[in-house]
Chain A
């Protein structure tokens, strides 16, 4: 399956990645060649094969409902690029 520059732009949007036009131009053939390579899987018959999501097929792993240690607001916000009091500050969310 070939990949177009428009598809690359759409995937970049889904990925929240700003790509310059030069990056789009460079990445399109690179991704196309990788996608072309992984297309080899289409030839393999996987009918009736249970998908393997995980190397470790364990089930029912729980923790008890108990309180653990929380961070202080200072610790929680220590890495925040911007803060407003004890809140994380982010660009305006407009619905």
Chain B
């Protein structure tokens, strides 16, 4: 099979973090009993009128700025007319020719393996969600049941350009988008609750001998409910298109764009052979809503509300704290609150790299186990910094250090007290350590000869023997130094 280039554009819908719907005061809380968060407005009853939720627009504007979009000075709402039972008015209030934002980008962050990659965005616009239709087999011939709780929920649609070139990048793009929107308080982006949904437009470019390429017809893959599904479905779909092309040779433009569903259980995309019916949405300006003129003040407010965005935080953590790409990213992905905690631990005296390790490992584990957030975490940054400093000073190994940490949490004491209470006193007497090492060397001559033969690892068993004798309390760096000295003497 010849090589091909995957081309992906993602259409992402995120639910904005409002408490009420886009045009009425019904709650947007997930998981309410069917048809209990509805009113005449979102039911599309005769005579009702929509009124725009200010917070929804502000969040949308914030998102557009976070996504480096250009902001239109004037924007309006349009009706997209189509009939569907979960769309009570049989039109969706959306934005057509004058979206409030356009031409932005999102950078997939650099990792240890690859540099940062920029993905262009066509536009981001605000629109209302539809309700939920569920097929029901209980009746004769089956019917569909409709819950309109979700109808009218504010959604931001973010449309990327087809500038994503692998399934992994698609996933990385989505993860970065999710992090950005969560961090800026725009959306909680819970895929399993539907507050982040993704459709992928996929095709492939097949290089030809003359340097040109052939593009296959675009397929829109829907029903992607997890990051994993996005990644797998794109990989699968690209492969399927290659096989399809080899079978029928159809190129882009020769068949109409079609949609496909993703069957997660079977791991396949299922192309839906749709009737060849051109849709005619008959867009026109929504006469029940006023357009918006975006003022300098609105923009200023939105900018001020952005806070530090993930790419800014990564850069700062690297520059100010000397962290590497990996650690900086690790912290940023844990969120602003944990990053701030980390910074306080460092300013309380801990070394940045160690502080990062502690926060990313022990602190995160504690939070996950207790299902709590950093503001509920019992150890103050100062106390945790104390532990980091004590561990370094005393040379406790990691296992002992974790025991100290456990005691601090259990008894609410600081590191010094916990170490005392546990009776952990590091063995730092050079003569005593040297004696123990010599004993271990005598007991294990093979390790010594192996080491001499160049097997550096062989020293570990000698170290282990000393640790065993000191119950893990030998000061690790000192032990290492003396061990090498003793081995060199042989």
Contact = CB atoms under 8 A, between A and B. Distances in A.
A64 B138 CA distance: 42
Interface residues of B, number: 53
A72 B55 CA distance: 26
B20 A93 contact: no
Interface string A46-59: 00000001100011
A35 B468 CA distance: 97
A94 to B, nearest CB: 9
B83 A93 contact: no
B143 A89 contact: yes
Interface in B31-61: 33-40, 43, 51-57
A65 interface: yes
A76 B43 contact: yes
A90 B85 contact: yes
Nearest to B37: A70
Interface stretch (B232-240, B280-288, B436-444, B453-461): B280-288
A68 B216 CA distance: 50
A14 B54 contact: no
Contact of B19 (A61, A65, A84, A86): A65
Contacts of B43: 71, 76
Contact of A76 (B76, B148, B292): B148
B19 A66 contact: yes
A61 B295 CA distance: 13
A92 B27 contact: no
B142 interface: yes
Contact of B35 (A59, A63, A87): A87
Contact of A63 (B53, B74, B83, B148): B53
B275 to A, nearest CB: 11
B290 A84 contact: no
A93 B85 contact: yes
A90 B143 contact: yes
A59 B293 contact: yes
A86 B146 CA distance: 9
A70 B39 contact: yes
B135 A93 contact: yes
Interface residues of A, number: 33
Interface in B130-166: 133-136, 138-139, 141-148
B20 A67 contact: yes
Nearest to B222: A95
B101 interface: no
Given A76-B38, A92-B141, A59 B133 contact: no
Contact of B27 (A70, A89, A90, A93): A70
A2 interface: no
Contacts of A71: 38-40, 43
B36 A68 contact: no
Contact of B33 (A69, A73, A88, A90): A73
Contact of A60 (B38, B138, B292): B292
Interface string A4-30: 000000000010100000000000000
Nearest to B88: A88
Given A59-B290, A76-B35, A76-B43, A89 B56 contact: no
Given A16-B83, A87-B34, A93-B133, A68 B144 contact: no
Given A64-B53, A68-B24, A76-B43, 20 more contacts: A54-B287, A60-B293, A61-B52, A62-B53, A65-B54, A67-B26, A67-B27, A68-B20, A69-B25, A70-B25, A70-B39, A71-B39, A73-B33, A76-B148, A87-B35, A87-B134, A87-B145, A87-B147, A88-B147, A90-B145
20 contacts: A14-B280, A53-B287, A59-B290, A59-B291, A62-B51, A63-B52, A64-B53, A65-B18, A65-B56, A66-B20, A68-B20, A71-B43, A77-B35, A84-B145, A87-B146, A89-B144, A90-B144, A90-B145, A92-B135, A93-B133
Closest 7 CB pairs of A and B: A68-B25, A65-B55, A87-B145, A62-B54, A88-B146, A61-B290, A90-B85
Interface of A: 14, 16, 53-54, 58-73, 76-77, 84-93, 95
